[in-house]
Structure 1
Amino acid sequence: MAAAVCLGGVAVAMGQPQPASENVDLAMYSRIRDEGFNRSHVMEYGSALFDDIGPRLTGSPAMKKANEWTRQQLTAMGCANAHLESWGEFGMGWTQKGASLEMMKPGPAVFLAQATPWSPSLGKAVTAEVVRVPSLKTQKDLDEWKGKLAGKVILYGDAPKINPDPKPLLEHYDVAKLAGLGQYPLDGDMSEQGVLQSTDMSFWRGLFGDLAFKEKVAKFFAAEKAVAVLTPGGSGGVIEDDTLGTFGWYVYRADHKQAIPEMVIANEAFGRMSRLLAAKVPVTVKAEIETEFSGDHEQGYNTIAEIPGSDPALKDQVVMVGGHLDSWIAGTGATDNGAGTIVAMEAMRILTSLGVKPRRTIRIGLWSGEEQGIFGSSGYVSKHFAEFKFSKDPKDADVPEFLQTMAAAPVMKPEAAQLSGYFNMDNGTGKLLGIYAEGNAGIGSIFQQWMAPLKDLGMTTVSLRNTGSTDHVPFQMAGLPGFQFIQDPRDYETRTHHTNQDVYERLSPSDLKQASVIEAIFLYNTAMRDAMLPRPELPMAGEAKPLEGLFLDATKDGKKGAKK
């Protein structure tokens, strides 16, 4: 008999008897491979989602369109119960309509620029002098600029240093790299996987305290009647544009609305103007920022659909696959995380086209709000599987709830006992090379057996490392099996992550086909085996990590091993 633990009145199987070896259906592997490689729809889904609908900021009209389109596509491919499910109120809807920046004096130049998310509009093109303002940290810093900013465009912050000898943008994991990932780091350093070594709340208090002060800076600029703000955002034709470039984390909420229009611009443009101003050469620019708000209390929605289970004893059990549908706005959200979305959709299409009758129900979840705090997936987990108990220390008022310490173990809900596992993809367009087992040693040999017939596709590595910063984490926080695949990095961290280069042209069709085939096989295997997948230990009070790695880019060492 399987061991069970009672949590919140729910009996959750923690150690179901597992077979000595997996029943791997090689005939089905062949059918899935044939369908996925020879009749793929993954790039068709990609063009419709990225070229037609475009960037999908949470709460925006485009996000609503994407939710409806994915629901329609999942219905058309034969999935059941395709619907949109709210995870709650998000904030303001917003769309970038246009942005441009030209230097008029001392000479003409056209600069690469984008509005920052939730920036207010300028209303009309404005020609104004530029003033250079360093990063402001204290009230005294603000006081020094009183009476000096009216009618000016502010070049804000320090000019970034640009490496004249950058490393190649494209990277591929080789055998040695994968062997390294297969080794568990004895020092606990999994920063490359987006897992912070320390979850000390003092770090988060400091970070979000700084972001809260940035809100104050923006209000000061507006009160001083400055025209707009320009901030640096990337080099080599790549500009990064996300919340860390705005004046405050909560700019998507009406009560924290950014007070002054802002554009992120190329580091080269920022540097050129900064040097001119330092040499006391006057600079004048023509700036245009056209944006549109579309509501203060927009709801956030996930797209949900399923292939119903057929085994009378197992059909109420569920295996899930997903990725986040929302994106930032500089590109079209093709690699972050449109790739994970269309791969999950294609995996479902492969299975429905083959007429698979899974024993367990196979369910897809396409999440929104991931970029602002993993809202969609954590909202789904909270609604269906577990109630989280965060400390809500008054000292952490500026820190989002999902980064706070747990005050008690999650309270499990009845549906939690029915979830076998969740599989997620969210690291770009690269092919799948393995999977992170999240310290769940019991599942390692299972995955190895599933992967043995897939070695010719490059799927070779099971790592017991954790990985953070994306939508499998709420499942893990609830003590449920949630997994992220190991992906070939390609140019995700070097070129496309949150940038204007996150577009269809950066996708690898062959890699996306491979990923779709592997996801379909993992879903099929999980749905067909006799036992549910082995479960991790349930996080206890004080031991649960927050959504690790969400802000690794912003830590003191500046590592970019994590996304978001």
Structure 2
Amino acid sequence: MKRSNELILVISLILLSAQITLGQTTFGQTTFAQTETIDTAMFRRIREAGLASSRIPMLAHYLTDVSGPRLPGSSGYRRAANWAVQTLKQWGISEAYTEAWGEFGKQWDLAEFSVALKLPYYQPLIAYPEPWSGNTKGRQQAAVILITSKQLMDTVYLKEHLSLLKGKILLVYNNSNKMAAGYATTPGRLTDSVLEHIEGQHIVSRNEMETIISRDSILVAIDKMLKKAGVVARISAPGNNVNGVVHVQSANGYKLSDPEMITKISMSFEDGQRLARLVRSGQRVELIINQKASVSTRDTKGYNVIGEIPGTDPVLGKEIVMLGGHLDSWASSTGATDNAAGCIVVMEVMRILDSLNVKPKRTIRMALWDGEEQGLYGSYNYVKKHFMNADGKPNEANQKVSGYFNLDYGTGKIRGVYAQENKEMIPVFKNWLEPFHDLDAKTVSANSTGSTDHESFDWAGIPGFQFIQDPVDEVWTHHTNIDDYDHLQIEDLKQAAVIVASFVYQAAMRDEMLPRKEFVKKVFVFDGL
């Protein structure tokens, strides 16, 4: 049966090629695979608007350079969200607003930070504060002592040595620490052979998440113990913090139930190794650390950005096609590739469609999500609120959502799309991608992919999809201090906007809603984070 379907698909594509070659279109529309009519005239207009008059550089500048880091609840996040709403309205998208999705927690805004080696000599060090970690209450000079990650997680060991930790800076160090491969400056592009066999990315099982949740609760208890013991700060310098690239994130400290944390710092591997060698050779090593951040519970809610182009069909106008990406970022840079890139594309899609004065049959709704980095908070709670009953089953509004398209795998161009194990979508997506083969977008993977906002929709039984993207240098920009405007691939984002706009338009105009998988009630993979 599978081979028969493949044969039918091949024949259909051959016929499609012949149609295009011979110009067999009717009023700008081309029929693909006998079941799907592609509005090639509109696709061409979208391409022209997206490539010739793009606003992507401006969008990128305001969402990164001007807004700054977009930690959930922070002033940077609010700047970005408010600017996005204002910009959408200026474009003529009147249905644009922020919407609270629920309780997030503490607001954290960094005001001052510095760390330097004081003894045996003075030198600034490459390091960044972990978000929501505690303040030092002014400049603190203290000695460095070493502790392994195994010792750090051993509460019995800590209790036995607490008296030795008071007034010290803990450097988490492992003898086995090895430097990761150096930062690659050449953009990574997926080859045809890789695309042919591409697997889903960032797949996390519920069992793995429960292990992470358990570990995080232990770390909260450990940090509470260290703070009570008078530890000045805890520093980590893992092997992937190399060549000036420092990974900075945090699993706790933001919840209202979390205690005040100690100062936690992520340092470059090379600086951490130097400090460890000095300590192990018997040198007295002291650092000067200053960390000052404002922590507030003035507004503990989280907010998504929503925008709409209303549907015009008397019946289908009540149905929705959604697209989105997460607006929140980490705080060591401006979150350009993760995920201002996706938000830039989403906003550009809305601008393109509005500028072309499209009249979609279905309502097109965009969302810039909050709290994705903490566990898809914004999208998950939005879906629960709007599309699910209290018993965990789809509600009536759920049945009106045709599908959701997500962009969150970096700044690279779109090379295809994951069908998320929705077999009926495979031929649909292949047809939709046909006009974009010249833009290097050809691949439809049957596999699921994970760890971003389409999973909230997939969990609810709504067709949710993430695009396949070239990784470029995401392995180095992801959650690091170099995730800034200068690592965006502007031309790639233009290509992505054209394809996403075309997909959204096609989904909004087709006669039927997108086919669905059978709904299976289950615990959301990130629930409890």
TM-score, normalising length from structure 2? 0.89
| AA partner of residue 92 (structure 1) | K
Residue 255 of structure 1, CA deviation: 2.2
Residue 374 to residue 387, structure 1, CA distance change in 2 (3 Å): farther
Residue 332 of structure 1, CA deviation: 0.2
Residue 177 to residue 229, structure 1, CA distance change in 2 (3 Å): same
Q: What does 1:44-123 align with in structure 2 at a 5 Å threshold?
A: 44-123=58-137
Residue 270 of structure 1, CA deviation: 0.9
User: Which one of 427, 450, 454 corresponds to residue 472 of structure 1?
Assistant: 454
Whole-Å separation in 2 of the counterparts to 1:469 and 1:210:
19
Amino-acid identity (%): 38
Whether the 8 Å CA contact 1:99–1:113 is kept in 2: the answer is no
Which protein has the bigger helix share?
2
- Which residue number in structure 2 is paired with residue 380 of structure 1? 382
Q: What's the secondary structure of 2:405's corresponding residue?
A: strand
Q: What does 1:225-236 align with in structure 2 at a 5 Å threshold?
A: 225-233=230-238, 234-236=241-243
Q: What's the secondary structure of 1:154's corresponding residue?
A: strand
Residue 159 of structure 1, CA deviation: 6.0
- Which residue number in structure 2 is paired with residue 139 of structure 1? 155
Whole-Å separation in 2 of the counterparts to 1:274 and 1:312:
69
Whole-Å separation in 1 of the counterparts to 2:180 and 2:457:
43
Whole-Å separation in 2 of the counterparts to 1:40 and 1:372:
32
Whether the 8 Å CA contact 2:62–2:80 is kept in 1: the answer is no
Q: What's the secondary structure of 1:530's corresponding residue?
A: coil
- Which residue number in structure 2 is paired with residue 462 of structure 1? 444
Whole-Å separation in 2 of the counterparts to 1:533 and 1:388:
25
Residue 260 of structure 1, CA deviation: 1.2
Whole-Å separation in 2 of the counterparts to 1:130 and 1:54:
32
Residue 144 of structure 1, CA deviation: 2.6
- Which residue number in structure 1 is paired with residue 434 of structure 2? 452
- Which residue number in structure 2 is paired with residue 314 of structure 1? 316
| AA partner of residue 82 (structure 2) | E
Whole-Å separation in 2 of the counterparts to 1:165 and 1:508:
23
User: Which one of 387, 399, 405 corresponds to residue 417 of structure 1?
Assistant: 399
Whether the 8 Å CA contact 2:253–2:259 is kept in 1: the answer is yes
Whether the 8 Å CA contact 1:159–1:267 is kept in 2: the answer is no
- Which residue number in structure 2 is paired with residue 194 of structure 1? 202
User: Which one of 474, 498, 508 corresponds to residue 489 of structure 2?
Assistant: 508
Residue 124 of structure 1, CA deviation: 1.4
Q: Note the alpha carbon deviations across 1:543-564, whole angstroms, 9 max, x for none.
A: x66249x99xxxxxxxxxxxxx
Whether the 8 Å CA contact 1:159–1:232 is kept in 2: the answer is no
Residue 97 of structure 1, CA deviation: 1.9
Unaligned runs of 5+ residues in structure 1 are 1-17, 182-189, 244-248, 390-409, 552-564
Q: What's the secondary structure of 2:36's corresponding residue?
A: coil
Residue 428 of structure 1, CA deviation: 0.5
- Which residue number in structure 1 is paired with residue 27 of structure 2? none
Residue 271 to residue 477, structure 1, CA distance change in 2 (3 Å): same
1:238 aligned onto 2:220:
no
Whole-Å separation in 2 of the counterparts to 1:314 and 1:425:
25
Q: Note the alpha carbon deviations across 1:305-328, whole angstroms, 9 max, x for none.
A: 111111112111110110000011
Aligned residues: 493
Whether the 8 Å CA contact 2:234–2:265 is kept in 1: the answer is yes
Q: What does 1:245-256 align with in structure 2 at a 5 Å threshold?
A: 249-256=251-258
Q: What does 1:9-28 align with in structure 2 at a 5 Å threshold?
A: 20-28=34-42
Whole-Å separation in 2 of the counterparts to 1:288 and 1:238:
21
Residue 139 of structure 1, CA deviation: 2.9
- Which residue number in structure 2 is paired with residue 173 of structure 1? 190
Whole-Å separation in 1 of the counterparts to 2:266 and 2:404:
36
Whole-Å separation in 1 of the counterparts to 2:214 and 2:397:
38
Q: Note the alpha carbon deviations across 1:447-495, whole angstroms, 9 max, x for none.
A: 11111111001110001000110000011011111000000000112x1
- Which residue number in structure 2 is paired with residue 162 of structure 1? 178
Q: What's the secondary structure of 2:104's corresponding residue?
A: strand
- Which residue number in structure 1 is paired with residue 13 of structure 2? none
1:336 aligned onto 2:342:
no
| AA partner of residue 70 (structure 1) | A
Whole-Å separation in 1 of the counterparts to 2:462 and 2:33:
20
Unaligned runs of 5+ residues in structure 2 are 1-31
- Which residue number in structure 2 is paired with residue 295 of structure 1? 297
| AA partner of residue 388 (structure 2) | A
| AA partner of residue 158 (structure 1) | N
Q: Note the alpha carbon deviations across 1:405-424, whole angstroms, 9 max, x for none.
A: xxxxx321121111111000
